[in-house]
Structure formats: C-alpha cells, structure tokens
Chains A and B, each alone.
Chain A
Amino acid sequence: MIDDPRTHDLELFRARQKSRNRVLGSILGALAVLFFAISIVKISNQSHKKAEAAAAMAGQH
C-alpha cells in the first residue's frame, strides 16, 4: 500500500500539518512567556513609581 498515492498524500499532509502545529505551538508558548514578562515589568514599574511618589511626599513633610 506504500505506493498508493492516497496514503502517500495523506502522510505528506499530516507531516505538513504537524510541522505547522509545532511552529505555531512554539510561537504561542513564546508569546505567553513574553506577556508574562511584560506584566511583571509593568507591575514593578508601577510600584517603583508609587514608592518614588510616596518618598517625595514624605520628603516634603
């Protein structure tokens, strides 16, 4: 049955699908990591700003 073009095409089709899924999966995984990192940076930037503002307020008093 190896020479059956239908089997052969289907194998090629599945292989193509598989490689696309792998690449898409890694991209989505990388994006998830990136979004997490962005969130952490943004949150810590915000708390830095708050701390600075509080320090400035304390300095005035």
Chain B
Amino acid sequence: MTQPAISPALPADWRDFFALTKPRVMSLVIFTGLCGLLAAPGSLHPVLAFTAILCIAVGAGGAAALNQWWEADLDAGMKRTAQRPLPAGRMDRESARDFGFGLSGAAVAIMGLAIGWLPAAILALSIFYYSWIYTVWLKPRTPQNIVIGGGAGAFPPLIGWVAVTGDITLMPVLLFLIIFMWTPPHFWALALFVKTDYAKVGIPMMPVVAGEKSTRRQILAYTVLLVPLSVVPWFIGGTGMIYGVSALVLGGVFIVLSTEVGLRSSVPDDAMKPEKRLFAFSILYLFILFAMLVADRFATIYGWQA
C-alpha cells in the first residue's frame, strides 16, 4: 500500500461552513421571520411553518456565505472580520461559493414546493438583493449602502407573513418598511464606534465619507421617521392597542437615545457610550417590537382586547 506522497489540502471543517452562514445574524432573521408568520391572519400547519422558517434561515445563510465569498479580501483587512473562515485561510473560495449557491437554491426550491411560489420568489429576491445589489453593487459605491442593504434584512417578516396568507398586503409591507427604517440608525451607531476598520479597506461607510456630524444627524432623522411609521399598523387597524402603545413607548426611548447621539460630537479618545447604548437598545427595540406584534395578535385571538 502506498501513502500519498504529498498530503492533500485539508477539507474545511464543518464548523467553518456553519460560521459562513453568520449564525448570529440568522437568529434575528429567524426571530423576525417567525414573528411575521405568527402575526399574520390565518394559520399554517406547524410542520409547514417550521419549513418556511427553515427556508428563510437557510436562504439567509446562503446569502451570508455568498457575501463572504465576494468580500474575502475586504474581510482580511478588518480586525473584526479577519478571523472568518476565508480570510483566515481555513477554506478555499470555491467551497464557500458553491456552499452559498447550494444553500440559496435549496432554500428557494423547498419553499416553493412546500409553501408556495410567491414566498419562494420573495426569498429568491431577498437573497439576490443582499448578495448582489448590496454586497457587489452598492456597498463599495455609496455611503447610503446601509440604507439600501437594510432592505435585505427587512425581507424575513414579509416572507413569513406571505407564507401564511399567500398574498402581499399593506401589513407585511409595513413590517418590511419598519426594519428598513430601523437599519440605518442601528448600523450607523455601530459604524460611529468602529469606523476606523471600514476606512482601512475603502468601504464608504457614512461616518468616513460624510463625516461624523452628518451621520449623527441622519441617525436622528431616520429614527424620527421610524417612530410614526412603527405606529401605522395600529392606526390602520392591523393591530390592537398592545402593539400600538408598545411601539409608542419603545419609539420614545429610541428618539431620546438617538437625540443624544444626534446632537453631540465626539472628543478625542471618546468612550462613545451614547453610541454604544443606542446600538444595544436598537437590537432590543426590534426584538420587543416584533414580540409585541405577536403578543397583540394572540391577545386579539383569545379576546383579551378588541
């Protein structure tokens, strides 16, 4: 028996494939998708509901893998991302590409066959939106990249909702718009305290291009737009008071925190506490808002509110 003369390259560890799907981002995707699915009028068999959420999550994982395949060089230049499987050299690029396309294709096909072709088409659009329109096209070109990229993260509740109802109405579009408007203040708060990394690899993040002052004003502007928008589902009668009041209270806190960020300017060696606080709250905001949307729906079903 002969031993191989040269040891072949090690195949990538399965954990690195898993890391390629950005599991932490996926948890928010699963949560908002599930909320859209639970808040929608109508019902879906639990097996089919599980399948729909699985497809949304796997689709998001596929898009994340494609994003990292495309951005491996950029990721290598940033401290936050240098240890991802591709820039760290633990996986070859072709594997990441094939994995990304494979997951995306499988997610769309299963969604189409098991749930319906409308949610499958929106899922395909969201994957294309994130991995091409955002990653390849807009991210390196415009400082508004996050505003447009926010659209990719806004798809899950829309898909979850449409998986139940089978058609697109105003309510799921409103959920889409809420996440869309939420993304800029959420992300720019982060970008304010990690901006050095993006500048190094030439990605035009808002604080780098337009300056800190303008970014701060825009954070405030998007928050001021977000809060009334978040109450619209209540005004049009799509939800009850539980959601409406929660949206108002949460929105009030969001505006207070972003006003603080919007009207200050950092000093050298600033600890950036208000920005970090706004970033942390923005995540909590979205979780509670969507949880309240579901709570509101169940309260109505069980007759606890009109």
Contact with A along B96-128 (1 / 0, CB 8 A): 000000000000000000100000000000000
Question: Are B3 and A10 in contact (CB-based, < 8 A)?
Answer: yes
Complex Cα gap A5–B50 (Å): 47
Known A-B contacts A6-B3, A34-B51; the reply to A13 vs B11 at CB < 8 A is yes
Which A residues touch B48, using CB under 8 A? 38, 41
* In the bound complex, CA of A16 to CA of B14 (Å): 8
Chain B, range 1-49, C-beta contacts under 8 Å to A: 3-4, 7-8, 10-11, 13-14, 45, 47-48
B114 contacts A9, CB within 8 Å? no
A7 to B7, CA, bound (A): 9
Bound Cα distance from A34 to B4, whole angstroms: 40
Contact between B45 and A45, CB atoms less than 8 A apart: yes
A19 within 8 A of B: yes
Please, could you name 19 A-B residue pairs with CB atoms under 8 Å apart, sorted by A?
A: A5-B7, A9-B10, A10-B3, A10-B4, A12-B10, A13-B7, A16-B11, A17-B11, A20-B11, A20-B14, A23-B14, A24-B14, A34-B50, A38-B47, A38-B48, A38-B51, A38-B114, A40-B47, A42-B114
Chain B interface (Cβ within 8 Å of chain A)?
A: 3-4, 7-8, 10-11, 13-14, 45, 47-48, 50-51, 54, 114
Pairs A-B, 9 closest by C-beta atoms: A9-B7, A23-B14, A37-B47, A38-B114, A41-B47, A41-B45, A6-B3, A20-B14, A16-B11
